[in-house]
Structures are given as structure tokens and as C-alpha cells.
Amino acid sequence: MSERHARSVLFPGIGPEGQARISRTSVAFIGVGAVGAAAAEIALRAGFGRIALVDRDVVEPSNLSRQVLFDDDDARSVRPKADAAADRLREIDPAAAVRAIVADLEPGNACEILGGHDLVVDGSDNFETRLLVSDACRALGIASIYAACVGEEGRVAVSIPGKTPCLRCYLEALPPPGEGPTCDTAGVVPSLPPLVAAIAMTEALRFAAGETPAAGLLCLTVWSGGFRSRRLFEQARPSSACPVCAEGRHPALETDAADLVKLCGRQSVQITPRGRPRPDFDALERRLAGVGRVRRSPQLLNADLDGVSLSVFADGRCVVRGTADPACARGYYDRYVGG
């Protein structure tokens, strides 16, 4: 057993056999933001065998206060988060098997991206993606861990097909999207995401080592009145009204990807053109170089112009930064990229 993991092996709950199981476990992280970046680093240092990082976004200056795998160079060069995070993890452990996937998880690609992994850690920032991850993992028979935080509150839940309710069963009893706080309205305590990530990855380690993860939905608050935690639905059974657990359906896989998505936490809108044409970066760079500052990498082309920033990805997506108005974002896209 590698000296790198000697202290884990000494812990009776893991031991040599548990560490060997961890080393054979493949985990995919959906979202490499505040929670996902911290969780991915813990996974790498703990010795998980294969790590996939899935993220659709790029590094921005506002990320640097809480997203631990990125630095100022990443933000200035507008690097895709998945690429930047993968490179940082390889610096920590050059022998690690780390794969970056710069993509928007959607119904058409979710099963392909998540398939082949033993565990999925969901650190996404919106309910649509969370339900998509939950439904896809159920369809594939893969265990998943939901980890999220906003304001002063964090949540962690483990979902194992055939053993626990799915995420829909938990979320249907909570305020629906639009009625609770979001990072746009409540911000986030900067020390909270690593705490949520640590709890989620402790459950991931227990799962990989052969232990039974804790049941229910763990909710914790860290600011008003100090640290407090409570566990909801600890004895819950799958809901009889859940289309996944009761009917064997996977609704999130049956819908089309949204054309316009307002991104959480900033003045940004993602545009996904129908058909996802692969952009001609050479032609686009020539066209935009005369009207703004253009930066380019194999995965994206970024242009700062006319008060907004456009990030065009190799898979055809475009993120318009500087506006939260979908109609305005669509106008910029049509004007500079092409409708």
C-alpha cells in the first residue's frame, strides 16, 4: 500500500482492504465549483482510482474566493473549469487518472458521460441538473451523492438504487425551485463549501470502503447561532408518488435540453443552439478580433466586447456574461456569433 495513504490504512474503518477498494473506485464530479472542486481534491488525495471532472463553465475572478483548485491565472485566461481543475489535481498526484470533460450535462449525453463510474458526486448549481443526475444514476444503477450549499445552509444526501429513496423523493417535500434562496439572492459563507464537500466525501469513502452510508438528507447551518445540523427523512421510504421509484420512469431523461439557461450566481446566460454546430474558431477569431479582445484555447474562444463577454465552447454552447436578460443575451449571440 502506498506510503501516500499510510494514515488512512492505519484507521480501522478503512484499513488495507478498504484503501484497496477506494483505489478501485471510479468517481465522477458534476460541477467543479465551490463544492465540487473541494470534493475532487479530497477524492484525489484519498486515493480514488479514477476521477472525471464534468463542468460547462470557465473560471472567473468571483470564483477565487471559494473555489480552491483555481488561481488568478486561470481567471485571467478564462480557462474551462474542468481543464484547470484536472491540471491542478495532476500537480498534486502526477500518477492519478484524472479526466476533464468540458460539457453541459443534458438529457442527450448524461448516461454516456456518467456510465462506467461507480459513484457520482453532484456539485451542480441548479435543480434541473440535480434531478438529471439523480434520474440518470437511477437509470444506470449508479450510487450518487447530492452536495449543495447556499447562504449559510448546506445539504448532503446519499442515493443508492434499491436501498434508498432517490433525490426526487427528498426534494418533493422541500420548497420547490423559485421559493427558496439561491446564490443570486443569499450568497454563500465562503467556508461552507469545503465543509459540505468534506461531509459528502466522507460518505463517498464509506461507500467505497464497503460501509453503509448514512440515510436521509443531512442539513446544516453554520452562521446564525453557530454550527447546527439535523437529519431529515432518516427512516423515509421511496415516495409512492415518485415517478422514478414508483413507476420506473426517468423524467429528466425524457425532456429536451433548455435553449437558454440563466446561470446561478452571476449575470450570465448560457445559449445552446439547436443542432449544436461545432464552431469554426478560426473564422470566429478573425471576425471578432476587430471589435474586441479575443482569447482562445482548444476548448473555447472568449471575446470581450461591447460591455459583455462571450465564451464560445467547442461543443457549440455560448455563455454571455454581463447580462441576466435572456433576450439581451440572445441578441448579443445573434449579433456576434450568428443565429
Strands 119-122 vs 143-150: parallel, antiparallel or unpaired: parallel
The residue from 111, 183, 264, 328 that is catalytic is 183
166 given a catalytic annotation: no
Active-site residue set: 183
